[in-house]
C-alpha cells in the first residue's frame, strides 16, 4: 500500500507541473462566449444508437457488476470518470477500458462548475485529464459536468482543452431515487436513436440494467459509446 501511495503522489505532482504549464499556455486565449452548438445533449437522431453515460465518483463494486452485464449484451457505454475516484481505483478504470468502453472526463473533485471562473474550470478539467493520461496513456475528449452544472467559462475551458461538453437527453436520477422500476422507465420511455441516458453505479441501477439493455435489443436500439453515437469515434 505504501508503494502505491508513493506512486500516486508522484503522478499527482507530475500532473500539477503539466497543469501549470498548460494553464499558462492557454489561459490567454480564453473568450467568454459560446452558443448551444458547443454543448451536446444527444447523438445522431437518424440512427438507432443510444448511449448509456455512467458518471463515476463512487460505486466501484457496482461498476464491476455493470461491466459484466454490459458484456453479456455486447453493449458499450461511456464512463465519465472523476479524478479523485480514478486515483484510488486504477485497476477498475483499466478494466473499463480493457472491456472496450469509452472513458470521459468528469472533473477531479465533483465541484459545481457553474460557480467557477474560467481558470478554475480549466484547472479542474485538466487535472483529471492529466491524471488519467499519466496512468493509462489515454487522451479523453468528452467532459460531462458534475450534476450537469456549467457556465460559459466551463464550455470555453473545454473548447481550449480540445474537449466537447456532454449533457444528456434522459436522466434516470438513480443517485436519488433508489427504485429499480423507476430507473428502468426513465431509461426506456420514449427512447429513440441518439439518446444519451445518464446513470450512476448504484445498486438499483445494476438491478435495472439487464432489463434496460434487453428493451434496447428488442427495439433494435444499439447501446454504444457517446463518441460512436456522435460519429466522432
In the numeric block, which cell numbers belong to residue 222? 444499439
- Start-to-end Cα distance in the chain: 37
pLDDT at 66: 98
Phi then psi dihedrals of residue 230, to 5 deg: -90, -5
pLDDT for res 138: 95
Cβ atoms within 10 Å of 89's Cβ, excluding its own: 18
Please answer whether residues 155 and 149 qualify as being in contact, where contact means their C-beta atoms are separated by less than 8 angstroms: no
Q: Where are the alpha helices (DSSP H) in 99-176?
A: 118-136, 152-160
Q: What is the pLDDT along the chain (233 residues), one digit of tens a residue?
A: 444 455 555 555 555 554 444 443 333 233 333 445 689 999 999 999 999 999 999 999 999 999 999 999 999 999 999 999 999 999 999 999 999 999 999 999 999 999 999 999 999 999 999 999 999 999 999 999 999 999 999 999 999 999 999 999 999 999 999 999 999 999 999 999 999 999 999 999 999 999 999 999 999 999 999 999 998 86
Q: Quote the CA–CA distance of 138 and 161 in Å, as a whole number.
A: 14
Q: Which residues pair with 196 in a beta bridge?
A: 51
Which letter does DSSP use for residue 231 in this model? T
Amino acid at each position: 500500500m505504501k508503494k502505491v501511495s508513493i506512486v500516486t503522489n508522484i503522478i499527482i505532482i507530475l500532473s500539477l507541473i503539466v497543469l501549470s504549464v498548460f494553464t499558462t499556455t492557454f489561459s490567454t486565449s480564453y473568450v467568454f462566449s459560446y452558443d448551444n452548438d458547443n454543448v451536446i445533449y444527444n447523438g445522431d437522431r437518424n440512427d438507432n444508437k443510444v448511449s448509456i453515460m455512467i458518471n463515476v465518483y463512487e460505486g466501484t463494486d457496482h461498476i464491476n457488476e455493470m461491466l459484466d452485464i454490459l458484456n453479456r449484451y455486447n453493449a458499450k457505454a461511456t464512463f465519465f470518470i472523476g479524478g479523485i475516484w480514478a486515483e484510488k481505483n486504477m485497476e477498475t478504470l483499466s478494466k473499463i477500458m480493457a472491456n472496450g468502453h469509452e472513458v470521459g472526463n468528469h472533473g477531479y473533485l465533483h465541484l459545481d462548475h457553474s460557480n467557477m471562473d474560467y481558470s478554475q474550470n480549466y484547472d479542474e478539467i485538466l487535472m483529471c485529464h492529466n491524471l488519467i493520461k499519466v496512468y493509462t496513456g489515454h487522451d479523453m475528449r468528452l467532459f460531462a459536468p458534475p450534476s450537469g452544472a456549467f457556465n460559459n467559462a466551463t464550455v470555453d475551458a473545454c473548447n481550449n482543452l480540445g474537449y466537447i461538453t456532454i449533457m444528456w437527453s434522459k436522466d434516470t436520477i438513480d443517485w436519488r431515487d433508489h427504485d429499480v422500476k423507476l430507473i428502468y422507465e426513465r431509461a426506456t420511455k420514449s427512447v429513440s436513436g441518439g439518446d444519451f441516458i445518464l446513470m450512476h453505479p448504484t445498486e438499483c441501477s445494476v438491478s435495472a440494467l439487464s432489463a434496460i439493455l434487453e428493451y434496447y435489443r428488442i427495439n433494435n436500439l444499439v447501446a454504444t459509446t457517446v463518441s460512436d453515437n456522435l460519429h466522432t469515434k
